Amino acid sequence: MQLKNYMEEVVFEMLDKVMVKMGVCMCDKCRYDVAAIALNSLPPKYVVTEEGEVYSRTNELTTQFDVDVATAITRAAEIVSKNPRHEVRNG
């Protein structure tokens, strides 16, 4: 058996969509920074999975849940785009 933070999957699922919409840098460094900040501000959601099992989205997740995650990602993307930690080329 494995413990998995399902919140990670939800954040990564929504991450690119939100970042594209906001027009922020999409390099790996920025994407992971946004994911880390967003996940730190969201409650973890641990699920038990058997090895190899693909965890599918459950009905317990509500629209409000999606809104909360999108809001956390948006805030995180704002923080990262103001202070990107990727290496800036040309200066």
- Return residues touching Zn ion (CB under 5 A): 25, 27, 30, 86
What is the closest distance, in whole angstroms, from the C-beta atom of residue 25 to Zn ion in the complex?
3
Q: Which is nearer to Zn ion, 10 or 30 (CB)?
A: 30
What is the closest distance, in whole angstroms, from the C-beta atom of residue 38 to Zn ion in the complex?
16
Measured at the CA of 51, the angle between CA 49 and CA 52, to 5 degrees, comes to: 105
Q: Which is nearer to Zn ion, 25 or 70 (CB)?
A: 25
What is the closest distance, in whole angstroms, from the C-beta atom of residue 21 to Zn ion in the complex?
16
